[in-house]
Structures are given as C-alpha cells and as structure tokens.
Amino acid sequence: MKTSRNWIGASGLTLMLALAACSSTSTTSPASSTSPTASSASPSASADVLGTPKAATGAPLVFGMLNLESGPVTFPEVRAGAEAAAAYVNAYLGGIGGRPIKIVSCPTDGQPATSARCANQILDQHPVAIIGGADSGAEASMPVWTRANLAVIGGLPFTPSESTSPNSIKFVSVSSGDNAAMAAYAGQTLKATSAAVLYTDNSQGGYTAKAIIEPTLKNAGVKNVTMIPVPPSAADLSAQAAAAVAVNPDVIYVETPNACANMIRALQTVGNKAKVMGLSLCTAPPVITAAGSAEDGYLSASPLVPWYGGSKDAVLYQAAMKKFAAPNTLMADTTAIGFQEVINLQAALDPIASSLTTASILNAFKTGTDHPNFLAHPYTCDGKQLAKAPAACNSYQLIYQVSGGANKALSETDWVTAGQFYTGN
Amino acid sequence: MTTISSYLLFVLLGLGAGAAYAILGLGLVLKFRSTGVVDFGHGAVAMFAAYVFIQLRSSGVLELPWIWLPHEVTLSSQGLGTALAMLIAVAYSAVLGLILYQLVFRPIQGSSALTKVCAAVGVMLGLQAVAVLNFGTQGRSTPTILPSGIVRVAGLIVPVDRLYFAGLVVVLAAALALVYRYTRFGLATRAADENPVGASLMGLSPTRLAAWNWVLASVLAAVAGILISPIATLDPSSYTLFVVPALGVALVARFRSFAVVAATGLGLGIAQALITKLLTVWTWLPQQGLVAGLPFILIMIVMTVFTPRLAARGDQARSTNPSVGTPRAPFRTALGCFVVGVVALFLLQGSLRSALISSLVTACICLSLVVLTGYIGQVSLAQMSFAGVSAFTLTHLATDLGWPFPLPLIAAALVAVPLGVLLGLPSLRLRGVNLAIVTLAAASAMDAFVFAGGWFSGGDAGRNIGSPRLFGWDLGIARGHEYPRVIFGVFVLLVVCAVGVAVARLRMSATGRMFLAVRSNERAAAAAGINVSAAKLLAFGYASFIAGLGGCLLAYQQGNISGSSFGAFASLSLLAIAYVAGVGRIAGAVVAGVMLSPNGLFVTLADKYLHVGVYATLVAGLALTLTAIQNPDGIASTKAGARGAGDALVRLAKKFNAHGENVGAPLGPPSRFQAKAADPIEVQWSGERG
C-alpha cells in the first residue's frame, strides 16, 4: 500500500463523465407510490383547457434559478413546476413578447457557499432576471444578485433577505405569512388561551418558531405559550409530544417540517386532546397517508387555492403539468408555487417585452394594485403587505383542515392574514 | 397525574430512542471487536435497510444501492407483508454488510486508525448520497410494526411498543454476551480480538470471523433501523446521524461490554426524554440544543476525565500513516505559487475566479489538518467548527464593534486557539479513532449549541460582514457591481501563502520533528524527552488558529455566513477531501482546495460544463473510500512519480486476485500476517494498552 497511485483522480473524473452522460435520464424527484404525480394529476383535464397554441420564436430570454436539489433537504419539484410553466408559456402564450423563456438552473445543497458558487455560475450566462426557487442558502446568493443588479421574481422565501431586498418580489408568503396567519387564527378565531409549539431545533425552525409563531400567538391573545424544541435527528418524538400534552394546551402547533407524520402520530399515541395545527407542508399527500387518522382535524394556512380543485387556474395547472412535466413529478404546494411564478412573470413582462431592464421589470410588478396572482390572492407590491418584509406582495392565506384523509379549504374565498398581530422581527 | 409519575412517563418514553442507540451501539461493538474499525457508516446502513423495508412494505419494490443503473426491482405489484419485507430487508443488510467488509474494510484491516476512519466516513457519505439521489429527502413514515396498543402503568398511558423495544435490547445484549462467552464463534472472535497473530497461529481466520461479525452487526443495524422506522422519521441525514449517539454509547462501553452498551443506550434515551420534560418545567434552561447536545458534553467529560488511558485496538496495526512531505525552499515555493495564483486570478473571470478564491480558502482550512492529522497524527472531525467560531467572532468584532482590519481577523482566529486546546485535552488520553469519536461528538454539540441559532450565529439570517479595509484601501470581494475582485483574491492568496510558509517552517523546525516523533511512537517520543502532552496541545492550538483564519477568509468571501456552513458533515467532508488529496503534505491542502472542494475550481468547471453538481457528495464518498483502501498517501504524493491510470488498474487487478485466492482458504492465516512476520521493525504505538 506504499506505492503511490494516481488512478483515484483519473477514476473520479471518469466517474463524473459517466454520471454526466447519464444525468439527463436519471430523476432526482422522490418517487413514491403514495405521492400523486403529474401523470395522475387529473384525468379530466384536457388539452383544450390550455387554449390555442402560440409558439414563441426568436432568441430565448434567459432566467436564472437556484433550487435545493442536493444535500439533506431537496425541493426538485419547484423547478419542475417552473419548467413546466415555461414550456406551457412558450407553446401557448408566445413566451414573453414572442421570445421563449429559457430557465438556466443550478442545484444547491443548503450550504451558503454552494448557493454563492451557483449564483456566480448563473451570472456567467447573463440572465435577464432570476426566478426564485427554494433555497435555504439564499442569504449567500441574494448579495450576488443585488450586486449584479438583477431582479429576483417569485419562489419560496426561506431566508430573511429574500423577503426584505428591494430587488426581490414574492407572490406568496410561506414560512412567515402562513405561520403568522395560522397563529393569529388560533388566538382570534379559535379563542385559544394556551398553546404548545413543537419546533425543529435548528436555525430555520428556531427562527420561525420564536420570531414568527410565538409572538403572533401572544399578540393574538394566546397568553400561555410553551416552546418545545425537537432535535433535528430525533429517534423518537413521543417524549416531545408528551411534553406538549403535559401542559394541557388548547392548541398544539406543529413546526417540524421533516417529521410531520411522526409528530402528528406521536401526539395521538400519547393521548392528545388539543387541536393540532401547523405547517401546510404537513398536509402534503404522502404525509396525510402516513399519519392516517391521527391527522384528522389538522389545521393549516396556505397561500394557494386548492391546485387539485376545479377553479380555472387549477384546471389549467393540472392540464399543463400533465402535458409538460415529467410523469413522476411530485405534485405539492411547492410545485404549484414554481408554476405560479412563471405564469405571473409572463403576465407582467409580456407588455414591456421590448425594454426589459431590471428597473422596468421591478416596475412592472411594483406599479398598480391587485394584480392577478395565479392560484393565489391578488398581489400588490407596495412593501406593506407583511410587516418588515417589503418584498412580500401578498400575505393572504386560506385555512385548510384535514378531514377523512384529504386536505380541504374551509372556504376558497375567506382569505385571512395575521394583520396587526404579526409585527415582524 | 402526580409529579413523580409524570416523570416516570418520560422515563418510559425515552426507551424508544434509547433502544435504537443501544442496538446500533451493539453493532458498533461487534464491528470494532472483530476488525478494529469504528464504523461511522453504521447509521447509514440502518438508514438504507429502513428504506428497503419501507419500499418493500408499501410498494413491493426492492431498492438496490446504486444510481443510474436500474435500481428498482419489482417483487410484487402490491406491498409485501410486514414479516416478509422485514426478512428481505435484514437479509439485504447482511449481504450489504458482507460486501462492504470484503471490498472496503478487509483490505484496510492492518491500516492506521486514520485510514479506517476515512474509509468508514467515505462509506457513510456514499450511502447517504445514494439515498438522497434514489429516495429524495422528504421524510418517510410507515405504519407500526410492533403491537401498538397502550398499557396503563401506575395511571400512565404508555405506548406498549416502547416496552418491547427495551425488552428486545436486553435480550439482544444478553444473547451477544452469552455467544461471546460460551460459543466457539464468540471465543474465537475474542481470541482474534486479543491477539490476531496468535489466533491465526491457532488456525483461526481473523478475516472470516470478522466477516461473520460484520454480517451480524449489519443485521443488528437493519433491525434497529426497521423497528424505529414507524416512530422516527426516515430521511437520509437523520438516520445517518443516529450513529453519533450510538458511538457515544459504544465509547462509554469501551467498545467491549454489551451490557454496558445496552444500559448506556437506554439511559441516554431516558435522559433525553427527561430533559425534554424539564425544559417545560424549568423554563430558565437554555432551550437550544440541550436535548441533542448535553449527552455528548457528558460523554466528552466522562471520556476525558474519568477513563484510564484508552488505547485504540489494532495490535497488528502497522503505522501506515500518510507520508509527510519535506518542504524545500518554502519561501521560493510560496513566491512561485503566489505569482501563479495572481496570474490565474487575472485570467479567470466570473464564477471561475470565485471558485479559485473558494479553493484558496478551503486550502487554508485544510492546512490545519495537515498540521494536526498529517504531522502529529491526531484525527479531528471538528475543524469546520473552529473555522465557524472564528468566522462568527469576526462578524461580531468587525461589524458590531467596528475594530479596524486586520485586528478582527487575527483576534477572531486567536479565539479558536483555546477551543482547540480544550478539544485537545481528550487527545491526552484517547487516541486514533476514539479521539475521532469525541471530536465528532464535539462537532455535533457545537452544531446544537452554537450554530443552530441564537445571537452568536445570527439565526436564520446569519451574520453579515463588510469588506476588509486597510488604510482606506478596499480589499473586499465586491465593490458596486465589481465581483469577484482580483484584489480580494490576492489578499486571500497572500494569507494562504503565508500560512503555507509557516506550516513548512513548522515541519522543518525542531517542533515539527517533535510532532513527527509523537506521531510515530508516543512512548519513544516521551522516552526521548519530548513532552507529548504539550506537543499535542500545541498542535491543536496551532491547527485551530489556521482553521480560524480560514473561517475568517470564508466569512469575508461570502459577506454573510450562517451556521449551516460549519456543521458536523462539513467537518467530515473537509477531512475527506484533505485525506484524499494527501493530508501529510502542504501540496495536498492545495490539491484538496483546487481539485476536490465542492466549491473549488475543478468541481465548478465540471458542474459548469457537465452539470454534475448533484453528484458531488457521492463522488467525495467514493473517492475517500478508494483512497483509504488504495492510496493512504493521497493524490498529492503521486505528483513526483506519477504513473498512468492503466498501470494502476493492472496493479489493482493483481491486488484483487491476491485477495481472491485468500477468500477461499479455510481458517488459514491470511497472507497479511505472513507478510508481517517478515517485517523486521513494526511501530506499534497504537497497540499500547492501559
């Protein structure tokens, strides 16, 4: 073993080349038999829902996108939704001003350094603007976009600067607006006076729990709030669940995004009688299947109207995903948010397609009020929709409840927001 | 519910997690006693078995552990029965364990602790990466397996399966203890553990015994993984990290006593459950990280203060430490590197220039491992934690207190020194792999306490840092739309070259020779008048300073840093790339930065043109394992006498043929020991006992 060899480097390179050759055929989306997929989304959706084909021609408009697709937490479906929407826009809406949308993306892994590298790689391709993805390393990429004077349109705001930067536009407020609205609903509508919050004990979980949920609950009249941290890699959640039940709260708030089903089941196991509410991520179909009857009655807030429902947007979304997305694409709220941003982008930029600059792009969103917002409440980018989150153009949510194994909106028209009960941080 | 009985509830609820730690711990003990390997990938094996089980149970699909080739075999159009699915998953795990042993751990049986640690970490990263690619990262769940009713104990509602878990742990530990005490297999394993050469002279085959133990341990991993899958969310990273508490448990049992493993595992689970309860009663307790972090702090204290000197196993271990470079003319080399670096900075544009700067920063942090692991042989899995502490300190000193550059840079790097010395204390008693475990526990504890949020690490938003300015001269990476600026690259290059020269001078100085003496034989070093303890602490302090400098450069480069850059996995990956590149050489640190760093020049180039970014972790894991088996000196060492890949493959084929002949030999002593007999001088510091 003492002889030196250089084949490791050579084999590593060969391996990379082999992987590259195969990467176009492999899929990174979680394929689970219990998840609904694009091909099974809606048998009733037909092609005419999509309208008359109007193909985009000419040189493509390049939009950059960073999305979590490697590392411990991934959201490949956000990009899948955005790409399906771009394909639909290019085939049926004539792209933007007749030019097709081209999305260049870079997979991130949650490490800020990777997001910074990816952002620089995207810059090399001279994008017109950036389409938001799901990226928990975005604190490192936002400064790159800001320096390059690029607008960042849509996506899931996972980190604070995505919601505060002047060059950022967010059509929905997830992780802030939805949790704040749900917490306000607990105090104001459900008249809860005590609550236990189960939250994942990492930087994002701690931030959402302590800076958004806890203060909003208190502001909305919930006097006693018990905070219970859940280790990110806990082998058994029943102790945390029992600790929540032991304080006899009116409501229990579940904020453990990667342990939804088990936490909800653990609450049932230890004999919980309180109302359970929390993240809308916990209403993804695979979670509801896994949690079973334990999730009946679970309340959550989501900025989207039911994308699996019968509204005009929902029918279009299902038909377009069926036609343009890969067959095993996970269909979740996050997929719909990816789709939404491209549709909104096209609607705003098509009229100004002849002069696309960062200033004109931002202006297109920031001028006027109540712009149509695909699958969501109309948006107004006046910087006043959510406290201390000037980039959020819409903080309205619908309240959903799980019942009989399905997540149903209590109403598709009663939009709620945390209003004055959420004061930002 | 009375107060006492409400606490009793948490004692009983803690049995679930405790059982998982204990069963994984039992497997770790089996692996260690038979091969001397502490398998950091043990949790990843449990994770894989659990995925296989859940897939079989829910959809009847068998998942094979590779990518891009077809990896799904449909055994049934609907889900299999629970018992059958479990049986197949356990058998699968046994086969996986056997293959991993034969391919990875058997060839390194006689290698140094560092090689074994790196091979195990490589397997762990590889399995985790395959799981991420094949299964995604969304948490999976499955219906209960054990009877899930509730029993009433003293007026408490307790899920009955927690009691079954505890019972299972006791039965397994007792069974293993009996097997090891009374059966021929157990006695033979113990004999081979005590004295492998003696055992092989008796006609026992240590490798065959090890293979069986490895299979048994893999079966236990599968059992643990499958049984807790209904209560613990299955995702690639959580399960993989269960190995950390399990390692702590096994370490307390000194990797020997099954009874102690069972008791400590259950005790750890109970302690965590009780802390959870106490957090809601004593609200003054710090909430952040206490449940995850406290047990490891306790383990560290126990291991450091109360244990007698604990030697690593491996009586037959040859001291195949990575070769150490001999720097010649460090100033001239550094000057040459500086000139080449400046030219490269000017030539490269955009993302490639950023990548080069990233490479330099990584090279700087890797240099800390060159000193600590390469020169003095101490394995640290917490270097990124030191870098993180310095980086965050820098943001406080420079941004909040407004200290003028370069004061905050130097002060922040100095802050890491006492921490490094503190972590060095266990090294006075623990060696090799045991030290690696304690440093991994420290990294996990730092994750939970320091980097998971709070004022120091700035929570979700991270912490911002402005551009460094020297006499009004802006050295920052960005100014207006200019990014990345050459001047910042030159600043980083200057720091890295200076650190390189310092490390080279250290290597050539009396201190460096002292380090090497300690590395090769602590007793001999002590006999020669070297203060071994002082040397180790000095190395830890020195390495922490370098890691701290690297962390500060990283902070300046990113402008905003968050805790996720400095987690335990980041430290593992850092050791991986440093080791693959050659941890005994300064050139190795440069190769690690430029060629292997996930944000470095080579990977950026590969991703830019081939779009292989998502495979970075997998490639790192495979490369690490292959390096550990084939080339402990790393890539950098081949620079001088590089031979072609074809030649290497021929040698590899010969090597495997040689092993192949051995596999069939019944109970015969393996060739490794025959070869050893002819080895006149064996340096056996790692074999010291007591």
pLDDT tens digits, B581-638 = 888 899 999 999 988 887 888 878 887 777 776 677 777 778 778 887 777 666 666 5
Query: What pLDDT shows up at residue B636?
Result: 67
Gap between the Cα atoms of A385 and B183, Å rounded: 73
Report the relative pairing of strands B61-63 and B72-74 from DSSP bridges: antiparallel
Gap between the Cα atoms of B262 and B623, Å rounded: 35
Nearest Cα neighbor of B120 from B575, B570, B543 is: B575
- Which tokens go with A102? 């081209």
How close does chain A come to B191, measured CA to CA in Å? Answer: 27
Residue A392 CB contacts under 8 Å (≥ 6 apart), including other chains: A157, A163, A170, A173, A176, A177, A385, A386
How far from chain centre, in Å, is Cα A101? 21
Contact between B531 and B524 under an 8 Å Cβ cutoff? The reply is: no
Average pLDDT of B520-547? 92
In this complex, do A269 and B150 lie within 8 Å of one another by their Cβ atoms?
yes
Query: What pLDDT shows up at residue B357?
Result: 94
Query: What pLDDT shows up at residue A8?
Result: 34
Least confident of A411-415, B1-5, B635-639, B661-665: B661-665
Contact between A85 and A126 under an 8 Å Cβ cutoff? The reply is: no
Gap between the Cα atoms of A99 and A103, Å rounded: 13
In this complex, do A4 and B615 lie within 8 Å of one another by their Cβ atoms?
no
In this complex, do A243 and B460 lie within 8 Å of one another by their Cβ atoms?
no
In this complex, do B635 and A8 lie within 8 Å of one another by their Cβ atoms?
yes
Query: What pLDDT shows up at residue A414?
Result: 92
Evaluate the omega torsion of the peptide bond into residue B406 and state whether it is cis, within 30 degrees of 0.
yes
Query: What pLDDT shows up at residue A133?
Result: 94
Q: Is the pLDDT of residue B563 over 70?
A: yes
| Band of residue B642 on the pLDDT scale cut at 50, 70, 90 | very low
Query: Which residue blocks in B559-664 are alpha helix, DSSP H?
Result: 568-581, 586-591, 601-610, 616-630, 645-663
How close does chain B come to A198, measured CA to CA in Å? Answer: 11
**Looking at A201-289, which runs of residues are DSSP E strands?**
224-230, 251-255, 275-278
How close does chain B come to A349, measured CA to CA in Å? Answer: 25
Residue of chain B whose alpha carbon sits nearest to that of A73 = B137
Give the burial string for B280-303 (b: 16+ CB within 10 Å, else e).
beeeeeebbbbbbbbbbbbbbeeb
Gap between the Cα atoms of A232 and B252, Å rounded: 24
Gap between the Cα atoms of A144 and A135, Å rounded: 14
Based on its alpha-carbon atoms, the radius of gyration of chain B, rounded to whole angstroms, reads 25
In this complex, do B559 and A2 lie within 8 Å of one another by their Cβ atoms?
no
Based on its alpha-carbon atoms, the radius of gyration of chain A, rounded to whole angstroms, reads 22
Percent of chain B scored above 90 by pLDDT? 33
Starting at the edge strand found earlier in the chain, the sheet holding A129-131 runs A101-108, A61-68, A129-131, A152-153, A168-169
Query: What pLDDT shows up at residue A35?
Result: 42
Closest partner CB to A258 (pick from B233, B241, B604): B233
CB pairs under 8 A between A and B: 342
Nearest Cα neighbor of B374 from B567, B527, B546, B602 is: B546
Contact list in B for residue A235 (CB cut-off 8 A) is: 16-17, 20-21, 228, 231-232, 242, 245, 269
Closest partner CB to A121 (pick from B558, B608, B652): B608
- Which tokens go with B15? 């049995």
Instruction: Pick B658 or A61 by higher pLDDT.
Output: A61
- What average pLDDT does the structure give for chain B? 82
CA angle A132, A138, A143 (to 5 degrees): 100
Contact list in A for residue B643 (CB cut-off 8 A) is: 5-6
Sign of CA dihedral B454, B460, B466, B467: positive
In this complex, do B354 and A204 lie within 8 Å of one another by their Cβ atoms?
no
Q: Is the pLDDT of residue B453 over 80?
A: no
In this complex, do A271 and B157 lie within 8 Å of one another by their Cβ atoms?
yes
Beta bridge partners of A68: A108
In this complex, do B461 and A70 lie within 8 Å of one another by their Cβ atoms?
no
Q: What is the dihedral of CA A197, A201, A202, A206, to 10 degrees?
A: 30
Which pLDDT tens digit goes with each residue over B25-64? 999 999 998 888 888 899 999 999 999 999 999 888 888 8
Contact list in B for residue A290 (CB cut-off 8 A) is: 140-142
How far from chain centre, in Å, is Cα B106? 19
In this complex, do B16 and A235 lie within 8 Å of one another by their Cβ atoms?
yes
Contact list in A for residue B457 (CB cut-off 8 A) is: 203
In this complex, do B564 and A110 lie within 8 Å of one another by their Cβ atoms?
yes
Query: What pLDDT shows up at residue B677?
Result: 34
pTM score: 0.82
In this complex, do B111 and A1 lie within 8 Å of one another by their Cβ atoms?
yes
Element of type H or E holding B3? helix B3-35
In this complex, do B448 and A201 lie within 8 Å of one another by their Cβ atoms?
yes
Least confident of A79-83, B120-124, B362-366: B120-124
Which pLDDT tens digit goes with each residue over B371-401? 999 999 888 889 999 999 999 999 999 988 9
Nearest Cα neighbor of B117 from B256, B243, B296, B295 is: B243
Neighbour-count burial of A10, counting CB atoms closer than 10 A to its CB (0-12 exposed, 13-18 middle, 19+ buried): middle
Average pLDDT of B7-32? 91
**B631: three-class secondary structure by DSSP:** coil
Which pLDDT tens digit goes with each residue over B418-433? 999 998 888 888 777 7
Which residue bears the tokens 């430290």? B571
Average pLDDT of B187-211? 82
Residue of chain B whose alpha carbon sits nearest to that of A109 = B614
Residue B467 CB contacts under 8 Å (≥ 6 apart), including other chains: B474, B475, B476, B477, B478, B479, B556
Residue of chain B whose alpha carbon sits nearest to that of A164 = B461
Nearest Cα neighbor of A82 from A42, A130, A140, A50 is: A130
Query: What pLDDT shows up at residue B613?
Result: 64
Residue of chain B whose alpha carbon sits nearest to that of A243 = B277
Query: What pLDDT shows up at residue A15?
Result: 37
Best mutation target among B55, B68, B229, B564 (most A Cβ atoms within 10 Å) is B564
Contact between A41 and A322 under an 8 Å Cβ cutoff? The reply is: yes
Closest partner CB to B558 (pick from A12, A34, A140): A140
Sign of CA dihedral B26, B30, B36, B39: negative
Least confident of B184-188, B521-525, B613-617: B613-617
Element of type H or E holding B473? strand B473-474
DSSP state of B670: P
Encoded amino acid at B415, one letter: V
Report the relative pairing of strands A251-255 and A224-230 from DSSP bridges: unpaired
Which residue bears the tokens 């195990």? B120
Starting at the edge strand found earlier in the chain, the sheet holding A406-409 runs A224-230, A194-200, A251-255, A275-278, A299-302, A398-403, A406-409
How close does chain B come to A137, measured CA to CA in Å? Answer: 9
Neighbour-count burial of A102, counting CB atoms closer than 10 A to its CB (0-12 exposed, 13-18 middle, 19+ buried): middle
Average pLDDT of B217-246? 87
Gap between the Cα atoms of B205 and A95, Å rounded: 70
Gap between the Cα atoms of B128 and A233, Å rounded: 14
Query: What pLDDT shows up at residue B533?
Result: 92
In this complex, do B635 and A70 lie within 8 Å of one another by their Cβ atoms?
no
Average pLDDT of B140-162? 78
Best mutation target among A34, A117, A142 (most B Cβ atoms within 10 Å) is A117
Q: Is the pLDDT of residue B666 over 50?
A: no
Give the burial string for B94-128 (b: 16+ CB within 10 Å, else e).
bebbeebbeebbbbbbbbbbbbbbbbbbbbbbbbb
How close does chain B come to A224, measured CA to CA in Å? Answer: 12
Contact list in B for residue A12 (CB cut-off 8 A) is: 619, 622-623
- Give the DSSP letter string of A62-111: EEEEEEE-SSSS--HHHHHHHHHHHHHHHHHS-TBTTBPEEEEEEEE-S-
Q: Is the pLDDT of residue B664 over 70?
A: no
In this complex, do A4 and B358 lie within 8 Å of one another by their Cβ atoms?
no
Closest partner CB to A203 (pick from B20, B21, B562): B562
- What separation in angstroms does the CA of B508 have from each of A240, B54, B324, B511? 55, 56, 11, 8
Instruction: Kindly list the averaged pLDDT for each block of 10 residues, start to end, along chain A of length 425.
Output: 35 37 34 42 59 91 92 84 96 95 90 82 91 89 89 91 92 90 95 95 86 94 93 86 93 91 89 93 85 92 92 94 91 92 96 93 94 95 90 94 92 90 82
In this complex, do B138 and A284 lie within 8 Å of one another by their Cβ atoms?
yes
Element of type H or E holding A406? strand A406-409
Which pLDDT tens digit goes with each residue over B303-338? 766 665 544 444 444 456 677 878 888 899 999 999
How far from chain centre, in Å, is Cα A237? 25
Candidate ranges B213-222, B435-444, B615-624; pick with highest mean pLDDT = B213-222
- Which tokens go with A237? 């959640």
Beta bridge partners of A96: A99
* Domain boundaries of chain B, sorted by first residue: 3-285, 347-565+644-678
Query: What pLDDT shows up at residue B640?
Result: 37
Evaluate the omega torsion of the peptide bond into residue B484 and state whether it is cis, within 30 degrees of 0.
yes
In this complex, do A237 and B616 lie within 8 Å of one another by their Cβ atoms?
no
Contact list in A for residue B135 (CB cut-off 8 A) is: 30
In this complex, do A5 and B622 lie within 8 Å of one another by their Cβ atoms?
no
How far from chain centre, in Å, is Cα B367? 18
Contact list in A for residue B554 (CB cut-off 8 A) is: 113
How close does chain B come to A194, measured CA to CA in Å? Answer: 14
How close does chain A come to B458, measured CA to CA in Å? Answer: 9
Q: What is the ipTM of this complex?
A: 0.79
Residue of chain B whose alpha carbon sits nearest to that of A284 = B138
**B505: three-class secondary structure by DSSP:** helix
Q: Is the pLDDT of residue B136 over 80?
A: no
Give the burial string for B165-185 (b: 16+ CB within 10 Å, else e).
bbebbeebbeebbebbeeeee
Contacts made by residues B601-605, CB under 8 angstroms, sequence distance 24+ = B601/B352, B601/B355, B601/B356, B601/B358, B601/B359, B603/B355, B604/A117, B604/A121, B604/B351, B604/B352, B604/B354, B604/B355, B604/B358, B605/B352, B605/B355
Query: What pLDDT shows up at residue B632?
Result: 66
Gap between the Cα atoms of A311 and B328, Å rounded: 74
